Structure 1
Amino acid sequence: MDKKHSYKDVFSQTEYVKIMFAALINRFGDSIDAIATTWIVYQITGSAAWSALIFGINNLPTVVVTPLAGPWVEGRNKKRIMIVTDIIRAIVVATVASLFLVDLLQPWMLLISTIIISTVEAFRTPASTALTPMVLDDELYEFGMSLNSSLSQVVQLIGLGCAAGIIALVGISGALYIDMATFIMSAVIILFVNSHEVKKEKVVFKFSEYTKDFIDGVKYVSKEAVIVFFLLYTVCLNAVLVPVNGLQAPMAEQLLHSGVELLSIFSITLTVGMLLGSFVYPFIAQKITPKILYWGEMVAIFAFYVGIVVAEPLYSNKIFTYVIVSVLSVLLGMGISIGSSMISVIFMRKVNKEFIARTASIATSVSVMAMPVVSFIVSGIVSFVSVQTVFIVSGIATVVANVALSKFLYLLDDKNEGESEQITESIRAEEDTLSQEATEA
């Protein structure tokens, strides 16, 4: 009889525990850095436009680098990549902290540091993912990944909760130095991991092969209606959330008339909402149709954008401010989490497994692409209009986008399951024809 495993068994996987512990330390530092960096951008620029611009720049490497980073990482030592990228991030963060401390930090320096950090993260993530199966037994994979994910969320909440206090105690530069220290600690821990990697010939990146796989993926995506809907849905979702992500500091100061402590409250309650949404989704999905969940997410996002502006007269009272922001943020987090979970499950169920990796890669690049584009637009608009106006327009845009995409809602039903296989066969037939023509030529 097969042995039943539990979370306790994960701790017998010593090397995996080391990697998990390093990731948790990183997450704590990133949580503090998220608040400190958001505030530092707005403090040195005094511009909501710069806040939106840097948020957009931060996502560019995900679009450009991520599709190419995976093949490059595959043929190289993952442990070494993780250590080197941690060290690079530590150096960059320390440089930013030092420049800010001596009052020499300029907005263009923040742009460069943001690009460097985001680029190295695009390499570290696939390296860490590829290393996991080497240090974690197959039968413990689900428990190990679930434990890592749950602890990461807890640590993130702790970091967000401590961020305002840490900044008040040691200043923004001090908070960034703490983030630097977490990267160094992570690199040291990874150094002592026995990754069980064997030396092998490096995989040479062939652009022609990558292009062929990419084109096949594009063909599949363009012919599969449910994936077209998935792409449009994620693009619209990322786009309408740009203002709340990119204008957090201006929101806190101009709209909520508060300081950095409000950013911590917003981030904590938003994370709590997303955790609650993830937890309840499997249960409510059994009783509520995907179509209702689809409209429910729209209501949650609209309620946040419009509600937080309409309630502005109440922000003279700090308690009212904290309560209103907390309630709306939890609602927003739950809406985003439930909607994202719903569309992800549909994606996994209806996409042909043969194309799922390429499709996911294309979907990630395309959906994230909306974020820098909209961020640049917002950075220009916010120079002429208030944050309040941007939020109201974003709420209206959410409704317009959901109504426009509602014509695809029939795809949320469990129908046309054979469509994906038919498309796959069609693409295979095209490939066979092209291959035969090339042979004859």
Structure 2
Amino acid sequence: MKKSTGYRAILHNYQYMKLLVAGIINRFGDSIDAIASAWLVYELTSNAMWSAIIFGVNKIPSVFIQPLAGAWVEGKKKKPIMVVTDLIRAICVAVIATGFLFGFLNAWIIVISTFVISTAEAFRLPAGSAIIPKLLKKEEIVYGTSLSTAIYTVVELIGMGAAAGIIALIGTTGAIYIDMVTFVLSALIIATIKISSDESRDINGSLQAYFDTLKQGFSYIARSKAAMFLVLFAAFLNAILVPLNSLMAPLANEVICTGAETISLISIAITCGTLLGTVIYPILSRFVSKEVFVISGGICIGLYYLAVIIARPLYNNTAFTYAYVAFISFIMGVFVSLLSAFLQVIFVELIDEQYFARAASIMNAMGNAATPVMSVVVSFLAAWLSTSVIFVVIGAIDVLVCLYLMLSHTLSDILCSKKDITVTSSESA
């Protein structure tokens, strides 16, 4: 008799719920810290240059260290890695807050601490990705992923909304100390999780063995059609959303002819759409084919770029403008979240478990690398083209790419494939 699964089953999976609670606490602290840290850097330096430097330093480990970390994490116990990296992050955050409180903090201490925190995250993320299939059954993963994504989004909104009040109440230092406490609590909760299969494999600890493991990870990505598609498509999605994120202010001012309130409207509408899409994904996945998720989600992003420009002559009506922009932003949020949830679930279904950490780290690194690269491209285009033209060009490119995927026979083969790389004993990591 087939056991029914759904959100109720996830809520009764106490070990996964511990991981979820730890993630909630982490996300809440991070959302407060994101605002508090930005304000702290400005208070300390009064120089936008340092904000840009710290932002760049924060991204370096995600692009360059995470693929290397994924290979190292693969053969190790995942729970201790998550606990230790949370504690490392707590210590670094404590150094920043204490330094600011006692007056010895400077910009370089923040840069170094930021690099260490991001490096710890580069190890924690692949470990966290690899631990999920050890806590959830295959049929539960879609519900677990949707539940965690929806809750994390709500918690981040609450944290960002509460950040200003918390800073006003206990100061910037107090807000950053809250982030430190959330890291410690997360580590303590994760330490209590029981994982029957979280065992390190007997891998030779030599440097040559590590590089062999790393090489096997990249080789797996290169030879696996499913893995290569997921890595490249994730990078494509990150890149295609850069113009919207980076040009939202000129979009509101030059195209929609409104003010900063439109930026808030777009952000809120997309977030609400994301929440709805995340919750309904497990239900839709029973009836909607994999190809539809990829094509409809991808095309919807391109259509959004085109739709916001096509309606420009009608933006002289204020009521229509706000209603229309909110509606199309909400719809895009729904489809983007459906596509994101699909990619997370299909990753677990198609990637061999022994390659989870390495494949996840490479996919995250490619996605993070795509953002600054596309930012440079958009900056170059913005120097020569108007925002309207950029949106039309990007939207058209997105639609054409997705139509190509739809018309090509390779998409169905990739998404319907099984774990298509068989690992021999000589290759096992």
TM over 0.5: yes
Which residue in the other structure is 1:395 paired with? 391
Assess if the C-alpha contact under 8 Å between 2:249 and 2:260 holds in 1: no
Residues 1:34 and 1:168: Cα distance change in structure 2 (over 3 Å): same
Q: Secondary structure at the match of 1:273?
A: helix
Assess if the C-alpha contact under 8 Å between 2:70 and 2:360 holds in 1: no
Assess if the C-alpha contact under 8 Å between 1:269 and 1:329 holds in 2: yes
Give the CA deviation at 1:356.
8.0
Which residue in the other structure is 1:411 paired with? 408
Assess if the C-alpha contact under 8 Å between 2:82 and 2:127 holds in 1: yes
Residues 1:160 and 1:127: Cα distance change in structure 2 (over 3 Å): same
Which residue in the other structure is 1:439 paired with? none
The one-letter code matched in structure 2 to 1:216 is: S
Which residue in the other structure is 2:216 paired with? 213
Written as runs of structure 1 = structure 2, the 5 A alignment for 1:129-148 is 129-131=129-131, 136=135, 138=137, 141-142=140-141, 147-148=147-148
Q: Distance in 2 between matches of 1:170 and 1:321?
A: 40
Unmatched segments (≥5 aa) in structure 1: 433-441
Q: Distance in 2 between matches of 1:107 and 1:313?
A: 46
Q: Distance in 2 between matches of 1:35 and 1:419?
A: 43
Residues 1:124 and 1:166: Cα distance change in structure 2 (over 3 Å): same
Which residue in the other structure is 1:119 paired with? 119
Q: Distance in 2 between matches of 1:120 and 1:342?
A: 27
Q: Secondary structure at the match of 1:370?
A: helix
Give the CA deviation at 1:178.
1.7
TM-score, length-scaled by structure 1: 0.67
Residues 1:250 and 1:166: Cα distance change in structure 2 (over 3 Å): farther
1:79-115 Cα distance to aligned partner (Å, 9 max, x none): 4322321222122223334455677765555443332
The one-letter code matched in structure 2 to 1:204 is: G
The one-letter code matched in structure 2 to 1:220 is: R
Assess if the C-alpha contact under 8 Å between 2:54 and 2:114 holds in 1: yes
1:348-401 Cα distance to aligned partner (Å, 9 max, x none): 89x7869985766544433332123345677x879x979xx8965752452353
Residues 1:70 and 1:363: Cα distance change in structure 2 (over 3 Å): closer
Q: Distance in 2 between matches of 1:392 and 1:96?
A: 42
Assess if the C-alpha contact under 8 Å between 2:251 and 2:387 holds in 1: no
Give the CA deviation at 1:184.
1.9
Q: Distance in 1 between matches of 2:290 and 2:228?
A: 27
1:134-165 Cα distance to aligned partner (Å, 9 max, x none): 6x474895465554444333323332332343
Written as runs of structure 1 = structure 2, the 5 A alignment for 1:130-209 is 130-131=130-131, 136=135, 138=137, 141-142=140-141, 147-193=147-193, 204=205, 206-209=209-212
Q: Distance in 2 between matches of 1:129 and 1:79?
A: 11
Q: Distance in 2 between matches of 1:377 and 1:219?
A: 26
Q: State yes or no: 1:82 paired with 2:82.
A: yes
Report percent identity of matched pairs: 36
Q: Secondary structure at the match of 2:205?
A: coil
Give the CA deviation at 1:218.
5.3
Assess if the C-alpha contact under 8 Å between 2:302 and 2:398 holds in 1: yes
Q: Distance in 1 between matches of 2:345 and 2:138?
A: 23
Which residue in the other structure is 2:24 paired with? 24
Unmatched segments (≥5 aa) in structure 2: none
Alignment coverage as a number of residue pairs: 412
Which residue in the other structure is 2:299 paired with? 295
Residues 1:13 and 1:52: Cα distance change in structure 2 (over 3 Å): same
Give the CA deviation at 1:26.
0.9
Assess if the C-alpha contact under 8 Å between 2:5 and 2:140 holds in 1: no
Q: Distance in 1 between matches of 2:275 and 2:54?
A: 27
Written as runs of structure 1 = structure 2, the 5 A alignment for 1:24-423 is 24-38=24-38, 40=40, 44=45, 47=48, 54-99=54-99, 108-131=108-131, 136=135, 138=137, 141-142=140-141, 147-193=147-193, 204=205, 206-210=209-213, 212-214=215-217, 216-217=219-220, 219-220=222-223, 233-242=233-242, 268-279=268-279, 282=284, 285=288, 291=295, 293-301=297-305, 330-340=330-340, 362-375=362-375, 395-399=391-395, 401-402=397-398, 405=401, 406-411=403-408
Q: Secondary structure at the match of 1:36?
A: helix
1:199-234 Cα distance to aligned partner (Å, 9 max, x none): 87565261452354245335426xx5x877665544
Assess if the C-alpha contact under 8 Å between 1:82 and 1:127 holds in 2: yes
Assess if the C-alpha contact under 8 Å between 1:157 and 1:268 holds in 2: no
TM-score, length-scaled by structure 2: 0.69
Assess if the C-alpha contact under 8 Å between 2:306 and 2:396 holds in 1: no
